[in-house]
A and B are shown apart, each in its own frame.
Chain A
Amino acid sequence: MHGITVSLVTYGIAIVIGFFIATLIWALPKLINLLPHGEDKKD
């Protein structure tokens, strides 16, 4: 694979995985709050 192809493929996949992780980070606290007793105590 040429360097430019590697760069573009890498950047494209990184954007997809990056926003997938961001969505997880955004959604998880909300999911935890939905669980019974999910709203845990503040430290």
Chain B
Amino acid sequence: MENFHVLSLFEGVSALLQMPISVAIGRIVLVLLGFLMIYLGRKGTLEPLLMIPMGLGMATINVSTMFFDPLNLHHGLGNLFVEPQAGATTDAVRNAADLMTIMQIDWLQPIYTFTFSNGLIACFVFMGIGSLLDIGYVIARPFSSMLIALFAELGTVFTLPIAEFFGFSTKQAAAISSVGGADGPMVLVTSLKLAPELFVPIAIVAYLYLGLAYGAFPYLVRALIPKHIRSIKMDPPKGIADISSGKKIAIAVVACVVLCFLLPVAAPLIFCLFFGVVIRESGIRQFVELLQGPVLYLSTMFLGMTLGILCDAGTIMDPKVLPLLLLGMFSLTLSGVGGIMGGYVMYFITKGKYNPVIGIAGVSCVPSTAKVAQKIVSKDNPFSMIMPYALGANVTGVITTAIITGLFINLLK
């Protein structure tokens, strides 16, 4: 008892005091950021489904550091949640032993290893999203939806050379620029295939910005589209109710087969999305309820929570992450601007009858950006119903992101 120190009772506190001061301050800032994310998620400013579990995870992981490092990866400090570096060495025997050890210690490790790092959770999220999608909105206006969705990929495509200019390899740059597609599962797959060494920070940046896009895109739209144009009244497109479920299934099946045939590398995600659509339109109530409820929400909850837990100061304060944060923001903003440009193109083609706010929904964060578009327009003109058009662009955005993901991976693998 001679050397007893009261701080040794509270390992989190003593670990915080023993780490470099910059890291300790970084951890405290991340805890506060986690609180802010929970507050903004609860308030509805940011996407609550992701931000609340992610914020709590981020706040918790940055105070849960202890003197524990069984794999000797972090200078004696670690936690009991997850070890994303386990199994990442070039020594296969050590990798297997590391994973076996860590699987029995860290409670989130099985979730990370078996669902996160292999993209399975992304597939589950896509199945759930597919079961929520009504592709009737795309069938009603396929060309205008596609035009907007392609414009909304500007960030995905043109951040690549800029990231390369900042010193990233072409593969890393492609993985970073995929953030502009605003499609979390696609970003996970692209970074896993092209830049596994940046998988964790890119995944964090992608989902952080998807939440932020929910809050920031309205400002972008208001800055680029004047009020009298935002107020353009649109009536719901005609004929959507006449599209039978049989036709929707036929189109989903053909689109799925054609896209998987052209881009097998993105086939798991494409299949999962259209599987959800087909199940929805088949009317198999039990499966629809399973996908729309437990599958979607359980995966989203664990996705948000695991991402939050991965927001450890050691990862976030890596010097490589700052350019990732900036490039991710640039990519998403450029995609938003591109979507609005697409909206303006439609506005001019239709001689002022098309509300260009719909363009922001081409950024394929389903269905958040469509909801954002309707919310903005409803404030300026409560009688304008753009949601069906926005959902069409939104769903098509998922397809264009899948196409670009597949092309990036095929061109650069």
For B290, what are the chain A residues with a Cβ–Cβ distance below 8 Å?
none
With most chain A CB atoms within 10 A of its CB, the pick from B251, B396, B412 is B251
B262–A17 CB distance below 8 A: yes
B298 within 8 A of A: no
CA distance A9 to B259 in the complex (A): 18
For A41, what are the chain B residues with a Cβ–Cβ distance below 8 Å?
244
B245–A6 CB distance below 8 A: no
Known: A17-B262, A18-B400. A28 touches B157 (CB 8 A): no
B158 within 8 A of A: yes
Known: A17-B403, A40-B246. A24 touches B408 (CB 8 A): no
Known: A13-B407, A17-B403. A2 touches B170 (CB 8 A): yes
A3–B153 CB distance below 8 A: no
A34 within 8 A of B: no
| B interface secondary structure, majority | helix
B174–A6 CB distance below 8 A: yes
B400–A6 CB distance below 8 A: no
B259–A21 CB distance below 8 A: yes
B258–A24 CB distance below 8 A: yes
| Interface segment out of the listed B9-17, B21-29, B93-101, B138-146 | B138-146
For B139, what are the chain A residues with a Cβ–Cβ distance below 8 Å?
25-26, 29
B296 within 8 A of A: no
A28–B143 CB distance below 8 A: no
Instruction: Render B126-167 as a binary contact track against A, CB cut-off 8 A, 1 for contact.
Output: 000000000000110011011001100100011011011100
Q: Contact residues of A with B, CB < 8 Å?
A: 1-4, 6-7, 9-11, 13-15, 17-19, 21-26, 28-29, 32, 40-43
What would 11 A/B residue contacts be, using CB atoms closer than 8 Å? A6-B412, A7-B161, A10-B411, A14-B153, A18-B146, A19-B146, A21-B255, A24-B258, A29-B139, A32-B247, A42-B244
